[in-house]
Chains A and B, each alone.
Chain A
Amino acid sequence: MAVSTFKRGLRLNTRKHATEGFPVELAPLPKQVVIPINQHFGAPNKSLVNVGDKVKRGQRIAEGAAPGPMTVPVHASISGIVKKIENRLQSNNTEGPCIIIEAEEGVSDETDFMPPLDPFACTKEEALQRIRDAGITGMGGAGFPTHVKLSPPPNKPIDVIIADGAECEPYLTTDEALMTEKPDLLIKGLAIVMKLTGVGKAIIGMEDNKAKLIPMLEQELRLGGYGGDISLGLCRTLYPQGSEKLLIKALMGREVPSGGLPMDAGCIVSNVGSLVAIAEAFTLGKPLIDRDLTVSGGACKLPKNIRAPIGTILTDLPPQFMDIDYSKLRKVLFGGPMMGTAVPTLNIPIQKNTSGIILMTEEETWLDAEGPCLRCGRCIRNCSCKLSPVIMNNAIEAGDLDEAVKVGLMDCFECGACTYVCPARIKLTQRFRVGKQRLRLKVQAAQAAQTKAQTAAAPAAPASNAKS
């Protein structure tokens, strides 16, 4: 099979061996779960339950506060009693309202799932509603509501659906385990999305370190019989192949226009986990309440792929299942080591977008101090988006945000490749985050000033002044 790829990028030491090929182990039911009520990118949710309420696994417990498309509900992941609703630290290092459910003896096996729905018989609106009701968001990272992604405006014709199984982050092996164990559901999820969007073509994209899955997936495709053209796309193992922009470039040879979305390149990209969740939402009526993730790293004595209810806190799992070497533990990551977030405590719940928890030792991470820039150009050579990080950084340091934007600040998706290769250990990615934030503040300030000027000058001056 031909291996497609993009230019530049990194050949990382994948560090996947610790859990590669491991089955997904079902975590023992935790005594309590902490469920953040906002786990999606969009308008905030509000709680539907009160302290003391009895909830069942699968029951909707939080829902959009105001009507709008950019919200998805959140469901109870275990049956029990609502003990508290309070602000807790979440995996993005901000505090947010969480519903804390404690398991109760005897009721733990009760569920409140939706009735199954035949995706090939229902209407498009019903299907989108089901995906929203199941609380499905992108399971790869940002938490973008899946039903929104699947209903592009009519002026953006889509001709291919891409299942993102690249999993280019080191350590993480969950997507591979998922494709190994649930290929039927993955293909069914793809077929549902194809039916729903009316797109005839789909590609399952993955890195060539997962090439061993090809015969099995091909057989599954033959058995599936969903019609439509579903194929496998093998990409070189190259970081950041799992980024939707680069997966589109590698598989389709297209580029998403600057400032655009995959739909601007005629593609919908969805993580394989989200596709399996879609299939389960129809066949089982099960909302997104469990999450597959990799727990790995040098301070993890039993690295493994696990399935745990959303809201589980790692330390609540029994030590015979999840044994942590606290003496070696120096850094906890939610997500992979290239784009994941370092968190200050283990007392943080698993969320819908938590692809892994990496327990790193001091040797695995790095602590070098920043040195002066050598202007070696490695950041430029390795930027898969063909940006010029060193020049962007110089512009930000000089306070020239316009210049930084011109050379690509807003096109940077913070994959971290430039920072990884920088011999002077300059934290470029972090500087770009700060630069983007400064730009946002600047734009906000400019808008506020304009609004103020407009309201002040409204009676006297005509609207033509507004342009300046």
Chain B
Amino acid sequence: MVAPVAIVLAVLVLYPLGYGFYLSLTDANEANVARDIGAFHAPATYKMVWFDNYWSVLSGADGDFYPRLIWTVIWTLSCVVLHIAIGMGLALLLNRRMRAKLLYRALLILPWAVPAFVGVFAWRLMLNSQYGVFNDMITAVGLPAQNWLATPFAQKTAVIMVNVWIGVPFNMVALLGGLQSIPKELYEAAEMDGASPWQRFVNITLPGLRPVTNTVVLLGCIWTFNMFAVIYLLLGQNTTGEADILVTFAFRKAFTGVSDYSGAATYGIVILALLLAFSTFYRRRQLKTEQA
């Protein structure tokens, strides 16, 4: 029964991956790949350059890689930390007995149902420097209007904000499920022993959530590291380039100007290698803490 998935994945993931790796060893770009100009078929003229692309990326010679990498790491860390912190806070609140719980939950999950591109357009509208509702709000209380997307710093803050808005619901739901799977008896026993709310949180809730948080953190890091839509769509053509993470940078390499297919492929393979290294390390550590 697993065969169909294995086949689909092999053809549609492994093959492109292998081909992508091959491209990363060449100097393929828009000008030298095989293409049809009218009825005339131009054969590919690119050649193998072996590890030249990797060398120029990793030695820093292309000048883009390390700045993009640093920002990608900052972006991933801040997004994941905020996702988990806010998601955890909301999940703890929602896990109590109270009125209107279902309404709150539905409203709080709403951003998850919004397709990323619609969410991003809504934020662009609200962040508009001339007519956006944010500026209406802050000028109404007497603060000067801001140019929300103008500077690199503002762009970086904005993309993190929007990504947090989009990502919190998933984390909240996962953590809420985790909270509900912790046996109530543990809390009752702790209460009998006179444990304070904080002690109960640290000694029961956090360890009880560990299986969920482990998964959510790992997936969160992978997804955020590879997040495309938010950055690409929020900044559009107005980007200074400073807010590009590795993935959006590679996409621009492949599809703007003279398409640099080999360069984009090289970035892709490097990104994959980084994520693989991170996940392997993370899982090792996880296994170690489980055994300890």
Q: A and B: partners?
A: no
Q: Which B residues form the contact surface with A (CB < 8 A)?
A: none
A residues with CB within 8 A of B: none
